[in-house]
């Protein structure tokens, strides 16, 4: 059975005695090694939820468990060290160099100089900041994207099993954002982290999250896979927040992995393939440009995860009559490519 890295049971939070709950009776389970995104309008309680998990706030009622242990019973300092926390403005200490920022937790843990140094170098390389170039810079001498990279490196320093990320890429331009999205996905897979990631952006939520929590007014509206949220929204609010009535738009935000099926091993040897992280629009593109009966889905290393047949693809709800659909989708794909 899957272990839950984090579990919330009926968690509520209110700040003043007479004010209302800003987090309201929230119950969720976040399995170990999963990537869960939190999507919601401004003021819906996303940051409060993260801070409750991180014990920056104490819940008014309800319980939070970390790998099965009630966090109220854990030593706060020890507990926080097992959780990396990344926020939007990177939260770097302005008067410290990149190296000193990344070394904050190792220093607290009294690692010796050599171990700290090599960890800092390792982490800076991991987030693609050559140590020789960046170590001695101050945060003000970095671009927004570089600052976020340092923030991620710092959060990873003591090798926490869980990362809480609160709109970490919100202030970045689209290209930098895409790069960092790809990198955080890679880090999550490679080091088997559990990540809870807050965002305003539907595309980001669905691109990164295996499952997404949709919040409104402190309450969870739906906690489900991107596929189910798009095609089976729990209520009108969810329908509106993911708002795309356009079928092609939906394909654009869903990953191939969202509908991959086990391979039966009889696919044509020359069948086209996509990466698990590619979108369903890429899958459609393969169908339309190759006329293949199935598209193979592979992982980053090229290992076969499964396949998507045209018949399976056609079962995606909301699709018009197949011929019209093929034509319309083809034009859309071409439009996307040109646009």
Considering only the stretches 41-49, 94-102, 272-280, 295-303, report the one whose residues sit in contact with ligand ATP under the rule CB under 6 A: 41-49
Is 148 a residue that touches Mg ion (CB under 5 A)?
no
Q: For residue 148, with 0-12 CB atoms within 10 Å meaning exposed, 13-18 middle and 19 or more buried, which class applies?
A: buried
**# residues near Mg ion by CB under 5 A:** 2
Q: Within 10 Å of residue 222's Cβ, how many Cβ atoms? A: 21
**Six-digit token pair at 233?**
């929204």
Residue 75 binds to ligand ATP (criterion: CB under 6 A): no
Distance CA 166, CA 309 (A): 37
Shortest distance, position 219 Cβ to ligand ATP, whole Å: 12
- Output 22 or 102, the one with its CB closest to ligand ATP: 22
Q: Is 42 in the site for ligand ATP (CB under 6 A)?
A: yes
Which of 237/287 has CB closer to ligand ATP? 237
Stretch of residues binding ligand ATP (CB under 6 A), selected from 37-45, 133-141, 142-150, 325-333: 37-45
Burial class of residue 83, CB neighbours in 10 A (0-12, 13-18, 19+): buried
Adjacent-strand bridge partners of 150: none
Residue 44 in contact with ligand ATP, rule: CB under 6 A: yes
45 binds ligand ATP (CB under 6 A): yes
Number of residues engaging ligand ATP in binding (CB under 6 A) = 10
State the DSSP string of 99-119: HHHHTHHHHHTT--HHHHHHH
Three-class SS of 59-84: CCEEEEEECCEEHHHCCHHHHHHCEE
Q: Is residue 216 a contact point for ligand ATP (CB under 6 A)?
A: no
Interface residues toward ligand ATP, by CB under 6 A: 15, 22, 40, 42-48
Interface residues toward Mg ion, by CB under 5 A: 46-47
């Amino acid at each position: 059975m899957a272990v839950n890295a984090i579990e919330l049971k009926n968690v509520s939070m209110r700040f003043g005695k007479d004010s209302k709950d800003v987090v309201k009776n929230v119950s969720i389970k976040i399995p170990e090694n999963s990537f869960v995104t939190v999507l919601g309008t401004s003021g819906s309680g996303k940051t409060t939820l993260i801070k409750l998990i991180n014990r920056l706030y104490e819940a008014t009622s309800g319980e939070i468990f970390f790998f099965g242990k009630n966090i109220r019973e854990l030593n706060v300092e020890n507990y926080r060290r097992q959780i990396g926390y990344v926020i939007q403005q990177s939260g770097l200490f302005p008067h410290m160099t990149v190296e000193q920022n990344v070394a904050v937790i190792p220093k607290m843990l009294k690692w010796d100089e050599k171990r700290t140094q090599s960890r800092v170098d390792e982490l800076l390389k991991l987030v693609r900041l050559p140590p020789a170039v960046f170590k001695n810079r101050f945060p003000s001498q970095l671009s927004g994207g570089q600052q976020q990279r340092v923030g991620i490196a710092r959060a990873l320093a003591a090798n926490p099993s869980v990362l809480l990320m609160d709109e970490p890429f919100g202030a970045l331009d689209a290209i930098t954002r895409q790069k960092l999205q790809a990198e955080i996905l890679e880090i999550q897979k490679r080091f088997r982290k559990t990540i809870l990631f807050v965002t305003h952006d539907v595309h980001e939520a669905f691109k990164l999250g295996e499952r997404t929590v949709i919040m409104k007014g402190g309450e969870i509206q739906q906690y489900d896979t991107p596929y189910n949220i798009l095609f089976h929204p729990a209520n009108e609010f969810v329908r509106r927040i993911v708002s795309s009535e356009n079928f092609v738009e939906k394909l654009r935000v869903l990953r191939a992995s969202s509908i991959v099926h086990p391979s039966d091993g009889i696919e044509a040897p020359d069948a086209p393939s996509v990466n698990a992280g590619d979108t369903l629009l890429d899958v459609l593109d393969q169908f339309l440009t190759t006329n293949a009966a199935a598209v193979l889905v592979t992982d980053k290393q090229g290992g076969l995860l499964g396949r998507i047949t045209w018949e399976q693809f056609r079962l995606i709800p909301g699709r018009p009559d197949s011929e019209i659909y093929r034509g319309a989708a083809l034009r859309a794909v071409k439009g996307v490519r040109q646009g």
